[in-house]
């Protein structure tokens, strides 16, 4: 059923059009609508789940993924005895939280992700890895109570391919399990829950502490910007209590001081020789305006012992390393250098505790705050609108002569008399003006035949509509 017929006039200066054109359009629409009766499709919406699939049997890991997974070198660490919940850690680890946020952003088929849960594995007397904050449950909606393999399998396969980079020690999905250091790596899972509605993944201790390459400045690392602390054009400070500050690694090696520093308090840890960092920190930067900025760091003197502290600065898709000596001078701020930053996120300053040379004992590294100061001239502000605009502005216009149809609207004529008047000149000129009388805008009178065609079309449309109403 045709709800409406909307005919637009191409030239708004036209005041008349051919009724013949409307009649022909109406007849064409009527013929098209009479070609066949189309049954309604019904009220049911399109079901997007028709694109999903359940593969009979458990999760089937592709051979190339299995082969790549055999090269993974991830140390498995269990959660230990249940002991009535006494060994539960009380919260999710930092690595699990970062991985959760990244997975939810990258894989929209995941409905939610749960992490911490103080629970026993069945009646085994063993603590679930959830109780350590190192396990994540990636919830995937089922299909008629069965696993949605189209949605879940690609996630499991990707996690196997990146197990060593991230620190994935185990995966359970759709009655199948995979371990990074067991042999064979994969096989049937016979637990009481088939895991058809979620992927259970476990992080290694290193992954949970964000000590693996995926968390540390490598391609594919999650963008940790956008933390809700936008620095204005002239720069600003990020303190250790701010949302854009993150510290990583075991809390056993972080020490907190509740006084001193830029905003009252700071953290410190010790430098040591190692290939990978144990404890490290990052100030994530989100800038309103790009430009050249001076970057400084605060290192309270009480715990500024180590004289070769390694900082990495990510700025405008470049990473620069600076070895800083906070013991070289006094004062709250120490210079790291001048760097070009882009507007937006995915930029940061990071400090690390690991070095490739022997380090003496008690070489403290203080972690407090950073400061960015713009060195370029501040950008010109956007022009403000005129608070007192001209009440009668003169705008450039394209003059289109008014079509003369024989009578003018009421107004003053050339003699000063008001009321309708007949045009004395200009009719021929107006008819020759293409801006007024183009091929779709003629002012000729309508013939009886044209009116008859138009009336016939409307009658047929009304008859057709009435017929459809009786049939519905």
SS3 26: helix
Query: Per mean pLDDT, which of 183-187, 397-401, 459-463 is the most reliable?
Result: 183-187
Report pLDDT digits (tens) over 288-307. 999 999 999 999 999 999 99
Does the CA dihedral 204-205-207-212 come out positive or negative? negative
Q: Which residue has the tokens 């939280």?
A: 97
Q: Is the predicted pLDDT of residue 207 greater than 50, yes or no?
A: yes
Q: How far apart are CA 401 and CA 442, in angstroms?
A: 15
C-alpha distances (whole Å) from 76 to each of 15, 96, 164, 171, 210 are: 83, 16, 12, 12, 16
Residue 461 confidence (pLDDT): 62
pLDDT higher at 89 or 246: 89
Q: What is the mean pLDDT of residues 241-264?
A: 88
Q: Is the predicted pLDDT of residue 422 greater than 50, yes or no?
A: no
Residue 57 confidence (pLDDT): 83
Biggest alpha carbon–alpha carbon distance for the chain: 109
- Residue spans in the chain of domains classed CATH 2.60.120.260: 230-374
Helix/strand number for the chain, H first, E second: 8, 21
Q: Is the predicted pLDDT of residue 326 greater than 90, yes or no?
A: yes
The H or E element containing residue 263 is none
Q: What is the pTM of this model?
A: 0.47
What distance, in Å, lies between the first and last C-alpha atoms of the chain? Answer: 10
82 burial level (CB within 10 Å; 0-12, 13-18, 19+): buried
Residue 108 confidence (pLDDT): 85
347 burial level (CB within 10 Å; 0-12, 13-18, 19+): buried
Query: Per mean pLDDT, which of 12-16, 323-327, 437-441 is the most reliable?
Result: 323-327
Q: What sections of 70-122 are H helices per DSSP?
A: 94-106
Residue 331 confidence (pLDDT): 86
Q: How far apart are CA 447 and CA 275, in angstroms?
A: 94
pLDDT band at 222 (very low <50, low <70, confident <90, very high): low
SS3 185: coil
The mean pLDDT value of the chain amounts to: 77
SS3 13: coil
**Other residues' Cβ atoms within 10 Å of the Cβ of residue 381:** 7
Residue 198 confidence (pLDDT): 97
Residue 126 confidence (pLDDT): 95
Q: Is the predicted pLDDT of residue 432 greater than 50, yes or no?
A: no
What's the fold here for domain 230-374? Jelly Rolls (2.60.120)
pLDDT band at 168 (very low <50, low <70, confident <90, very high): very high
Q: How far apart are CA 316 and CA 313, in angstroms?
A: 10
Q: How far apart are CA 355 and CA 339, in angstroms?
A: 24
Q: Which residue has the tokens 């394209």?
A: 398
321 burial level (CB within 10 Å; 0-12, 13-18, 19+): exposed
Q: What is the mean pLDDT of residues 334-348?
A: 94
**Other residues' Cβ atoms within 10 Å of the Cβ of residue 302:** 14
What letter would DSSP give residue 111?
-
The two three-digit tokens of residue 21, written as one number? 């054109």
Q: What is the mean pLDDT of residues 229-255?
A: 89
Q: Is the predicted pLDDT of residue 95 greater than 70, yes or no?
A: yes
Q: How far apart are CA 221 and CA 282, in angstroms?
A: 14
């Amino acid at each position: 059923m045709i709800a409406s017929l909307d005919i637009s006039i191409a030239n708004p200066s036209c005041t008349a059009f051919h009724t013949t054109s409307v009649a022909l359009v109406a007849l064409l629409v009527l013929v098209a609508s009479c070609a066949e009766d189309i049954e309604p499709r019904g009220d049911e919406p399109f079901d997007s789940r028709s694109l999903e699939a359940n593969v009979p049997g458990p999760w089937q890991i592709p051979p190339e993924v299995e082969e790549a997974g055999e090269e993974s070198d991830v140390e498995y660490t269990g959660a230990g005895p249940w002991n009535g919940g006494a060994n539960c850690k009380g919260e999710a680890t930092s690595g699990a939280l970062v991985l959760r946020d990244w997975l939810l952003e990258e894989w929209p088929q995941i409905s939610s992700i749960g992490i911490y849960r103080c629970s026993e594995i069945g009646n085994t007397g063993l603590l679930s890895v959830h109780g350590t904050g190192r396990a994540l449950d990636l919830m995937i909606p089922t299909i008629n109570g069965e696993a949605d393999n189209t949605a879940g399998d690609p996630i499991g396969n990707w996690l196997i391919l990146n197990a060593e980079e991230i620190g994935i020690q185990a995966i359970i999905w759709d009655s199948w399990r995979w371990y990074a250091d067991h042999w064979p790596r994969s096989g049937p899972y016979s637990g009481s829950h088939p895991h058809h509605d979620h992927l259970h993944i476990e992080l290694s201790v290193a992954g949970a502490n964000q000590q693996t390459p995926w968390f540390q400045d490598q391609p594919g690392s999650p963008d940790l910007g956008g933390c809700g602390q936008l620095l204005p054009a002239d720069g600003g400070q990020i303190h250790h209590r701010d949302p854009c500050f993150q510290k990583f690694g075991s809390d056993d090696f972080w020490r907190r001081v509740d006084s001193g520093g830029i905003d009252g308090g700071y953290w410190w840890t010790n430098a040591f020789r190692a290939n990978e960092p144990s404890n490290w920190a990052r100030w994530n930067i989100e800038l309103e305006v790009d430009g050249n900025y001076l970057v400084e760091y605060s290192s309270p003197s009480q715990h500024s012992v180590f004289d070769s502290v390694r900082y990495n600065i990510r700025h405008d898709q470049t990473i620069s390393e600076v070895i800083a000596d906070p013991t070289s001078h006094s004062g709250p701020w120490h210079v790291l250098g001048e760097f070009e930053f882009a507007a937006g996120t995915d930029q940061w300053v990071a400090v690390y505790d690991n070095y490739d040379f022997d380090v003496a004992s008690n070489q403290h590294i203080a972690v407090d705050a950073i400061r960015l100061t713009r060195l370029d001239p501040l950008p010109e502000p956007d022009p403000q609108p005129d608070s007192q605009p001209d009440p009668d502005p003169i705008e450039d216009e394209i003059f289109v002569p008014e079509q003369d149809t024989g009578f003018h609207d009421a107004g003053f004529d050339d003699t000063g008399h008001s009321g309708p008047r007949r045009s004395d000149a200009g009719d021929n000129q107006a008819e020759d003006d293409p801006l007024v009388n183009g091929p779709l805008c003629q002012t000729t009178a309508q013939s009886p035949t044209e009116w008859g065609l138009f009336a016939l079309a409307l009658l047929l449309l009304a008859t057709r509509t009435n017929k459809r109403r009786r049939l519905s």
